[in-house]
Amino acid sequence: MLFATPPKPPRPSTDSVPSSSPTSVSDHPAGQDMMKERSMPHPRSCILTVGATAGKLCMLANTHMPSDPTMTPVMDKQEELAACMSELLQALLETAKSLNLDLIRSIHNKMALNAKKYPVELCKGKAGKYTQYSNQTGITKDNQSTEDHVDDATPHSPLSFREMAEALPLLTEEIADFASARHWDQYHTPRNLVLAMLGEVGELAELVQWMGDDDSAFVEVDSKKLDKLSQELADVSIYLLRIVTECQLVSEVSQGLLSVPA
């Protein structure tokens, strides 16, 4: 299951920024030249980094996150866990940047969709999939575009690590509030959340597995494909931020982002 709350302004340090749905990579002001003369890693390389870093977090979860939910969420290795979580969030931000996506907007757009997929009155205390409520919500596997849940077409602008660090306390609180409202805390042990996140990393990889490494494949990505990439990046990020919260490492992960040289 994924989490949702009504979207809030993504950057607390600025005025409200309208949400937007991605259109295409080539809509970036630098256009196709940005892709052809790429100074950043290729999107597929970024996604491989996400997978590799998620794997490191899985290894730590296997040895340093207890399976007993009555035990302290993080028994030891707090610094190592926080560093790995920060590294994974950096990889997600770099992936979003390679696709010219604002990761916080992507998260908020997905949260708006998830609010419709998981109404409180239908899913409180349940761990079922959204398809169990499709008759009531009207949302099925084939009509999940976040393009239908935004009011503005303003192009995305990638985030800096500092912007994400500053937004992290509010963002993690929003996601935690959504889970609590649906009585999902009972399911959200750190190990459960790591496994859920791992599944979402796989879905992100599936979107690009056969696209090849030619930049032109991403220059011509249409809005529907980019929306799917935006959603899967958001899904991985939402679960990661739940893990950060449940391990009580929000401040440490924020500091990790701030410590990265500009």
Predicted TM-score (pTM) of this structure:
0.80
Under DSSP, is residue 108 helix (H, G, I), strand (E, B) or coil? Answer: helix
4 within some domain? no
107 within some domain? yes
2 within some domain? no
- Kindly report the CATH number assigned to the domain that includes residue 175: 1.10.287.1080
What's CA 186's distance to the chain center, in Å? 22
126 within some domain? yes
Mean pLDDT, rounded, for 245-255: 95
What pLDDT is recorded for position 116? 82
Are the beta carbons of 198 and 58 closer than 8 angstroms? yes
Long-range CB pairs of 55-64 (<8 Å, 24+ gap) are: 56/84, 56/87, 56/88, 57/81, 57/84, 57/85, 57/88, 57/194, 57/197, 57/243, 58/194, 58/198, 60/84, 61/190, 61/191, 61/194
Summarised one tens digit per residue, pLDDT across range 39-72 is 678 999 999 999 999 999 999 998 888 776 566 5
* Nearest Cα residue to 102 out of 25, 163, 40, 158: 158
Q: Which domain holds residue 205?
A: 40-149+157-258
Angle 85-215-201 from CA coordinates, rounded to 5°: 30
CA distance to 64, 65, 191, per residue, from 59 (Å): 8, 10, 11
CA-to-CA distance for 128 and 115, rounded, in angstroms? 15
Least confident stretch, 129-133, 163-167, 243-247 = 129-133
Helical residues (DSSP H) of the chain, grouped into ranges: 31-36, 43-64, 78-98, 103-117, 120-123, 134-137, 161-181, 190-206, 216-219, 223-246, 250-258
16 within some domain? no
7 within some domain? no
Least confident stretch, 144-158, 160-174, 192-206, 233-247 = 144-158
210 within some domain? yes
Angle 248-121-125 from CA coordinates, rounded to 5°: 45
Number of domains in the chain: 1
What distance separates the 2 farthest-apart alpha carbons in the chain? 54
Structure-token pair, residue 121:
């009155």
From the CA atom positions of the chain, what is the Rg in Å?
Answer: 18
Higher pLDDT, 71 or 96: 96
Tell me what percent of the residues of the chain surpass a pLDDT of 90. 48
20 within some domain? no
